[in-house]
Structure 1
Amino acid sequence: MNNYFDKSKCFIIAEAGVNHNGDINIAKKLIDVAFEAGADAIKFQTFKSENLVTKDAPKAPYQESLTWYGTQFEMLKKLELSYDDYKILKRYCDEKGIIFISTPFDFESVDLLEKLDVPLYKVSSGDLTNLPLLKYIARFNKPVIISTGMANLGEVEMAVNTIKKCGNGNIALLHCTSSYPTDYGDVNLTAMLTLKNAFKLPVGYSDHTTGIEVAIAAVAMGAVIIEKHFTLDKNLKGPDHRFSLTPDELKAFIKSIRNVEMALGDGIKRCLESEKENKFFSRKSIVAKRTIKKGERIEADMVDFKRPEKGLPPTMLEYILGKRAVCDIEKDTFIDFDKIG
């Protein structure tokens, strides 16, 4: 999957979505926040309302209380950015050093993003079954990340096969639950592993819970991509602000992911350098439980096991039992082979 999705480092997408509320200045501030938090990429959503919904399409229930009055079309119209806006935002990201991504919701938006030379495409859960759009995106032969909310395994397979038949095998899948916010009981995080095993593709998780622990758990389970919404202010009017992270939360979120990655390590079980000093103080040696006189045969009731690791370890007990002391061995003295024979 090119080098965007190195298995040793999770690719973190800070999802701005439409949390700019149609204001390019807010969008630029979101870029600043994502960059300062350490995200690999920031993602917006690109659409023409006329191409996305019918004029009388209703809003989803979760959008009703969080957005302006009116239809879904009227809501989306207020959240649109122009091509010139995206051009400015793409250049701003390039200057900052953060990857610009945007989810296209229609053919015209794909063309717009292609003009901006985006490095990869993200397909929303709602377009997983939009095979014509998948084919249109696939023909550019760029990496494609597909969110799989609301889908069953057969629908995911259909989407993957559609892109592959276009000659594009650069596909990654994001497990996702398309409810906003997502209840913890509806996350079904192990389905991410089902996707990994079924399709042998890079997998990740697009998180719509209000917390950060589920996405962090996903990283520990092997997610190579994490996507999480963020906002400048949860109290802003708009469909996605309430379940988004604040700037400080985003920073803590990304730091937590990087800490978990470090903690995962390489999987080799060994004594680490940082443990070696404590190994001496923590492990035990075989010591005399009482004074053992020269010539006495050493029996099990004559020995004990105490810190530090200075004499023979308890694992060597069988090699000293039955041996005779070649000198007096005082109580609490370490027993080693120089003292027995």
Structure 2
Amino acid sequence: MEPLELVPGRYIGEGQPCFIIAEIGQNHQGDVELAKNLILRAKECGADCVKFQKSSLKDKFNRHALARPYSGPHAWADAYGAHKEHLEFSREEFQELQNYAREVGIPLTASAMDIPTVELLDELGVPFIKVGSGDVHNLPLLRRAAATGRPLVVSSGMSDIEWVSRVYEELSAAQDPPTPLVILQCTSAYPTPPEHVHLRVLDTYAQVFPHAHIGYSGHELGIHVTVAAVARGARVVERHITLNKSWKGSDHACSLEPHELRELVEAVRSVEAALGSPLKAFQPSEEPCFLKLGKDGSGRPEPEGGGDAAGGGRRGEGGRAARPPCDPSGRAGGRVPQPRRGGGREHPGGGRLVRRGGLGAPGARVSSEA
């Protein structure tokens, strides 16, 4: 599918680097200056975007829910409404954070948790709108977010494939034009046990949702699972950032501190470079080792005094060939083997690769026949 411009000038898709979202969420503790610090730290770590959570409490909760008693180690007030109010930024505060993010050079957006917040984020010009797992079953919210025309990033925690398929149909097949869409595999457990992550769902999503880009929102401990998600094809990854995992708030424990976020970004970029090409080819970095250890493949004894054998090419240490014999052109590359009649494959040096003993037979081996 076509690359998607998720934020101005930054595309996701085939051949594009993975887009890394630093989820600040409510780890700012209700403090604008702390939120700015987190924005700056995310930028310094190499994240592509920062994200908050935003809601209109009176539209998201009824009066009974807001008035109910609330206690525990993560409570900011005795009533749930007052607790949530402590963690909400006003429109003016959110705009202040937008301006600060613009100054330091990192895009900023938010998860919309109700329709008025979708409209607010649209008015404020965020580059894309996130819909979290807690609202993936809210079809009116998803439809209103799609109506903005902005890309949607949708997490799929607490859902099964039937429901995610319905969301996809609502946002892709039922929309004209289809909503620019990213679907994130996610498990809503804080922290998520590795055996509940199921990265193979990324493969399923890529197969059954051809008009959506696929990504991963992680709540596990550490960075290794998220790096593996990128190796498995995630175009977007999202992880929470905190300055201290021991702070009050249920998200801090499974968040990444700045040094961990930096390590994640570096690991992702390293893995992307290592994925490389599907073509097996002689690499320039192999030259020194081949000059030392390579053979010319002729079967002839090395000529006296080193140098070139008759008909041979350039030689390295000990008279060895400076390129593998299967690549007579001398290029650090080759051709992709093509299927041939008889079930074999063309060998890069000519001939066919023939499996002795039949396909899958015990003791089967592969040889080259000219």
- TM-score over 0.5 for the pair: yes
Check the 8 A contact 2:290/2:322 in 1, yes or no.
no
Check the 8 A contact 1:105/1:127 in 2, yes or no.
yes
The answer to whether the aligner puts 1:5 opposite 2:15 as a matched pair is no
Check the 8 A contact 2:19/2:236 in 1, yes or no.
yes
Structure 1 runs of 4+ with >6 Å offset = 311-315
Structure 2 partner of 1:131: 139
Q: Which runs of 5+ in 2 are unaligned?
A: 6-10, 305-316, 327-370
Give 1:183 shift: 0.6
Check the 8 A contact 1:282/1:308 in 2, yes or no.
no
Structure 2 partner of 1:297: none
Query: Which residue of the other structure, out of 274, 279, 285, is the alignment partner of 1:268?
Result: 279
Cα separation, 2, equivalents of 1:136 and 1:185: 35
- Change in Cα spacing, 1:311 to 1:254, as seen in structure 2 (3 Å) is closer
- Helix, strand or coil at the partner of 2:89: coil
Question: Which structure has more helix as a fraction of its residues?
Answer: 1
- Change in Cα spacing, 1:309 to 1:19, as seen in structure 2 (3 Å) is same
Cα separation, 1, equivalents of 2:166 and 2:72: 32
Structure 1 partner of 2:216: 205
Cα separation, 1, equivalents of 2:168 and 2:271: 30
Check the 8 A contact 1:172/1:202 in 2, yes or no.
yes
For 1:269-308, what aligned pairs fall within 5 Å after superposition? 269-285=280-296, 286=299, 288=301
Structure 2 partner of 1:26: 34
CA RMSD of aligned residues (A): 2.4
Deviations 1:16-58 (A, max 9, x none): 0011111111110011011001111001001122222344549
Structure 1 partner of 2:367: none
Give 1:74 shift: 3.5
For 1:97-136, what aligned pairs fall within 5 Å after superposition? 97-136=105-144
The answer to whether the aligner puts 1:166 opposite 2:195 as a matched pair is no
Deviations 1:133-152 (A, max 9, x none): 01111111111111001111
Cα separation, 2, equivalents of 1:129 and 1:248: 35
Query: Which residue of the other structure, out of 232, 237, 241, is the alignment partner of 1:226?
Result: 237
The answer to whether the aligner puts 1:177 opposite 2:187 as a matched pair is yes
Check the 8 A contact 1:44/1:103 in 2, yes or no.
yes
Deviations 1:117-141 (A, max 9, x none): 0111111111111000011111111
Deviations 1:86-122 (A, max 9, x none): 1111111112211111001011111211121011111
- Helix, strand or coil at the partner of 1:239: coil
Q: Which amino acid aligns with 1:179?
A: A
Higher relative CO (Cα under 8 Å, sequence separation at least 6) belongs to: 1
Check the 8 A contact 1:56/1:72 in 2, yes or no.
no
Cα separation, 2, equivalents of 1:56 and 1:308: 86
Structure 2 partner of 1:323: none
Larger radius of gyration: 1
Cα separation, 2, equivalents of 1:152 and 1:80: 30
Aligned residues: 296
For 1:130-149, what aligned pairs fall within 5 Å after superposition? 130-149=138-157
Q: Which runs of 5+ in 1 are unaligned?
A: 292-305, 316-341
For 1:24-103, what aligned pairs fall within 5 Å after superposition? 24-57=32-65, 64-68=72-76, 70-103=78-111
- Change in Cα spacing, 1:283 to 1:67, as seen in structure 2 (3 Å) is farther
- Change in Cα spacing, 1:308 to 1:92, as seen in structure 2 (3 Å) is farther
Check the 8 A contact 2:190/2:220 in 1, yes or no.
yes
Q: Which amino acid aligns with 2:191?
A: P
